[in-house]
Amino acid sequence: MLSNAIDEIEDPRKPSNATRYSVKDAVLGAFSCFFMQSESFLDYQRQLNSRSGQDNAQSLFGLEQIPSPEQIRNILDQLAGSGLSSVFVRIYQALQAQGYLSRFKVLADHLLVALDGTEYYSSQKISCPWCSTRTAKTGQVTYSHKALLPVIVSPSQSTVISLPPAFITPQDGHAKQDCEQAAAKRWITNAAEIFGQQGVTLLGDDLFSRQPMCEAAMASHFSFIFVCLPESHSTLYDWIDFNAANGKVQTIEFSKRNGKTDEVWQLRYLNAVPLRSIAPTLSVNWCELRVTRQSDGKDLYLNSWVTDHVLSDSVVSAVASAGRCRWKTENENHNVLKTKVYHLEHNFGHGQQHLSAYLLTLNLLAFLFHTVLQLADEPYQQIRQRRGTRKGFFQDILALTKYLWFENWTDLIEFMLEDKKTSAKSRRNTS
């Protein structure tokens, strides 16, 4: 899928006899660095060139020639990351068609898509026309790159499925800085065709629970469960308080075991609540979850949401669980990308056009590919289980490919699964 998408990319360079490396070599060269979890382009490029003749860049990733890091950056800087969005979509469609997403579905066959932005580059010295800026009181300007990283999440699954990102960058014809909410609206509009007839519920923090965002979701046939805090929604909570005083807010309570802790879940909900005071106002449904420890009554969790899902005693618990699992976009997505060998905030290259965004897109694709392997590939699952940590597993991969040549990925994986490894000498002889 990745190779096919790269073949569709138009080479932005003018035809020249001096052109040595193809766009495909540049894209695959960068992708292989992320896939193999190398923190340094230069170190990884030295490793690829550490042998003469056959090399794993050709056999495992399909490179014809290995560009230098600077050559890769120069080519990728001219490519828009949107050219690889189709890979995310095709992988989602394949996972859906083959049933791997059935375990993620909740709320009458809905998928949950968490929308959350993150900053992946920041500097007070290096900038490009696509940087966002913020100016301190001292006059110091900080340049940054941010992106919305949508992922499919589920209360019952520890993994997340990456979807095409939306970059938070200055927009043509707009005087104001771009923001997470504007990027989310663009993503919602563009993503409507991805899911077809599949029901999708969007998850977002309190900044998303505004009428324009809710209307944008509904216009693209998405449902929503957005955090809704009292301090930012005074009209809505005045309505809640009035109805609570008149006994119209429904309450259910039950006990639940969480690990070694007995918890008490108290859920309050009310349908048909005005989202704002300004007419016309959207009517939404509201729920609140309070979790306390049964032994001493200590509060463990409190949050509330607005949604277009109609609430009842049989539905409200599932809605609250869905809203609560939005945190997985932080723990299982942002934190993994930043701290678990993907080096999201490392400056692999900034460029003057698209380089920073393009490298992020390739990094996200590497993360997605690893997730698909974890979901669908039994040998990969066996190796990961044996090796334990993600970091240790990829250290093994890097070491093996530095000293041994593998004809293909099957050869590499079978070698790692062998109980008795072939000696390096005999391997050279058989090769």
Separation of alpha carbons 150 and 110, rounded Å: 16
Choice among 50-54, 188-192, 407-411 with the minimum mean pLDDT: 50-54
The string of pLDDT tens digits covering residues 294-351 is 999 899 999 999 999 999 999 999 999 999 999 888 877 778 888 777 778 878 888 8
**Predicted pLDDT at 177:** 78
User: Distance (Å, rounded) from C-alpha 414 to C-alpha 318?
Assistant: 42
Report the pLDDT value the prediction gives residue 184, as an integer from 0 to 100. 94
State the residue for tokens 């930012």. Answer: 232
Separation CA 184–CA 179 (nearest Å): 9
Q: Give the burial string for 132-152 (b: 16+ CB within 10 Å, else e).
A: beeeeeeeeeebbbbbbbbbb
pLDDT tops 90 at residue 15: no
Residue 226 is inside which H or E element, if any? strand 223-227
Q: What is the pLDDT of residue 425?
A: 46
HSE-up of 118 (CA within 13 Å, CB side)? 21
What distance in Å separates the CA atoms of residue 32 and residue 351, rounded to the nearest whole number?
20
pLDDT of residue 335: 80
What per-residue confidence (pLDDT) applies to 67? Answer: 84
What domains can you pick out in the chain, each with its CATH number?
2-81+343-430 (no CATH), 82-339 (3.90.350.10)
Helices (DSSP H) in 153-231: which residue ranges?
180-191, 211-219
Specify the 3-state DSSP secondary structure of 413. Answer: helix
Q: What's the CA gap between 397 and 383, in Å, rounded?
A: 11
Give the confidence band of 41 by pLDDT, cuts at 50, 70, 90.
low
